[in-house]
Structure 1
C-alpha cells in the first residue's frame, strides 16, 4: 500500500496475488476487488488477480454501481463511469510460455476467456488490460510489420509463442501495447530478469483500445518499488488524461488527530461533556434517525478538531507497530536494491548484492522484534482492561486486531434463477426480496384459534436469583 501511495497510483491491477475466493475487501484505505481459486481447491500455485482502488477511485466505482466480474483466477474486471467516457479495467495473470500440451491448453483457455470478456465490453467504453502476460514481443521483422499498429517501435525482445497470441489478440480487437510506444531507458522498459541467463525482459504490458491511444500519456517501469516489497517484477505505471466524474479537489489536507491529546484525561472529559447536549436529539421525534445520526457525527467531528487538534503532516495511515526507524531501514533497502540492479553483470555486483541482503536481513530482524514488543504491549493493555472490569475496551482492542470491524462489501450473490448479481443496487433489491419472503411467511392458521389460546399468569418467581420464573401449578 505504501508503494501505491508513494507513486500516486489510484488504480492498481495486481497479478499473482495468491488470494483464494472472490469478493471485495477494504484494506486500510484501499478497496480490493479480487478473484482467485476457490478456497476448497488450495494448491501450491494459487495464481489470483485483483484491482486495488484508492479512496477517490473507490468512490467513483461505488457511484458507478460497483460493477465487477470475477471471470477466473486469472481475470477480474471492473467498470468505472467517468465524466467523458466509461472505463473498463481488466487485471490479468497469463500462464507461462507453454512447453507441453497441458500448458498450451491452459494458455489457450486464458486467451479464450479474455476474448469473451472483451466481446462483452460496450463498444463506446475505453478498456485497459494490465498484468503479467508472460509474453515476449519484438524483433526487427515484428516491429516493421506492426509499427504504429498494435505494437510500437520500442520493444526489447524477440516474439515467443505467448507473444504471438498476444499480438493476435491485439490485432483482432484493434488494441495497442502501450509499453512499446514510449521511448525510455532499457531499465525502465524491462520488468523481469531471467534467473538463469540474467537477461532482462518485458513481460508486463498495458493494452488499450486504439481509439483511446491519445489518452495514454506515459508507460514505464519503476525498480525501487520491487525492492521494497520483495517481488521479482518491477512496478509498471501508466498516466492517463481522464478525470473521474466524482473526483473532488481537496482545498486542505485532512490530516489525523494528535494521538497524545487523545490520551489526555482532561481533554477526554471535556470531549465527553461537549457531547452531552447532542443526546437531547435522541428523544426528538420530529427528526428522522438519519438526520439524528448526521447531526451527532458532525458535532463529534467539530468537537474533536477543537479539542484534540489535527496534525496535517500525518495523513497516511500505517500499521501501529511500524516505527520511523523501520521505515528508514526499508528505504535504505530499496535504494540498495536499485544499486544492485544497476551493477548486475559487473565486478561490483556481489558487493551491492551483499549490502542489499544485509539490509533485508536487518529490516526483518527489526520488524520481528518490534512486532513482538507491540503484541506484548497490546496483551498487557487487554489484561489491564479486564482487571479494571472494562471488558468493552478489551473487546474493542481484540476486534481492532482481528480486523472484524472492516466491512466486506459487495460479496457476490445470486438471484432466484442462480444468476450472479454484480450491481450494488440490484444486490440491495435482492436482499430486500429475500428477507421479505423469509420474514413474511404466509400463515394458514385461523386467527380465531389463536385467540382461544389462554395464557397462564406467572404467580410466583423462583426464590433463587439464578432460577427462571415458572408457572405455579
Structure 2
C-alpha cells in the first residue's frame, strides 16, 4: 500500500482521517496471514529512540508529534517501522533533503506486520539514485517462504486376509457359482475382465470385508479415530466456516481424549 501523508501545515484531524482510511483497508484486505506492506512519505519523524517492538534505535532525529501519531497507528495495527531496525550510516538513513541540502530528515518509512518482521532482511536509502526528487529512494529486501501445505492422502483400506483364509472354502464356492453365471462375450476381452473383476470384488466385499483401522493406544476408541479423520480432512481448508468446524472438532476430540486417558489410568491404578 502506497501512502502520502499530509504535511505539517494540515490539521491533525485530517491526518487522523487518512489513518482511519488506511485502517479500513487493512481490516478489509490485510487480515490474518496477509503480509501487508505499507510504504511512502509519512511526513513524520519517529526518531532514534527505541519504542517497544514498534520502533528501533537506528532511526534519525528526534521524535515529533506526527511521529507519535504514526507510532500509535502502528501499535493499534501490530506494525513495525522497518527502517529503524537496521544500523546504517546516516547517508543510508535520511530520506528527504531540504532545498540546497541544508536539512536532512527521515520522513519515509516502510511498515510491515510484526509477525513478518523476520522476512525483512534489509532497508536502506539509495542517495545516488538518478531521480528528480528531494526524496531519496528507499528500498527494502524481503525474503518470504511460502507455507508448504501437505494434503492428506487417505490410505486405501486393506482386505481382511485372515478372514479370507478362514472362509476360503465359502469364498471359492461362491466365486465359482457367480463366474459360471457370467455370459462370455467372444472377442470382447475388456468386457470379460470387467465382469470377472466386479464379480470377485463383490464376493470378497460381502464375505470378507476390509480391516478396520486399529488404534495404537489402548485408550483410543473407534469414535475418536473417526473424529481424527474428520478433523484432518478440514485442517488445511481456508474458509471461516470450516475453521470454526475444525476448532469445534478439535475441542471435542481433546475433551474425549482427556476423559479416556483418565479412565484408563484409573483402571491401571485399581489393578495395582
Provide the TM-score with structure 1 as the length reference: 0.29
CA RMSD of aligned residues (A): 2.0
| Structure 2 partner of 1:344 | none
Mapping 1:63-212, distance limit 5 Å? 90-97=1-8, 99=9, 103-120=11-28, 121-138=30-47, 142-143=49-50, 146-147=51-52, 149-195=53-99, 198-212=102-116
Displacement of 1:180 in angstroms is 0.5
The total of aligned residue pairs comes to 146
What pairs up with 1:329-408 in 2 under 5 angstroms? none
Structure 2 match to 1:233: 135
- Alpha-carbon separation, structure 1, partners of 2:65 and 2:104: 18
Structure 2 distance, partners of 1:179, 1:194, is 20
Structure 2 Cα separation of the partners of residues 188 and 204 of structure 1: 12
Aligned counterpart, 1:249: none
Give the distance between the partners of 1:135 and 1:206, measured in 2 at CA. Answer: 13
Residue 132 of structure 2 corresponds to residue 223 of structure 1 = no
TM-score normalised by L of structure 2: 0.50
Q: Deviations along 1:144-202, whole A, 9 cap, x unmatched?
A: xx14x100110111111211110001111111100000011100000112338812110
Greater strand proportion? 1
1:118, distance to aligned residue in structure 2 (A): 1.5
Deviations 1:17-40 (A, max 9, x none): xxxxxxxxxxxxxxxxxxxxxxxx
Secondary structure of residue in 2 paired with 1:224:
coil
Which runs of 5 or more structure 2 residues have no equivalent in the other structure? Answer: 148-272
Task: Give the 3 Å change call, closer, same or farther, for CA 94–223 of structure 1 in structure 2.
Answer: same
Shift of 1:244: 8.3
Partner of 1:213: 117
Instruction: Specify whether residues 231 and 243 from structure 1 end up closer, same or farther in structure 2 by C-alpha distance, changes over 3 A only.
Output: farther
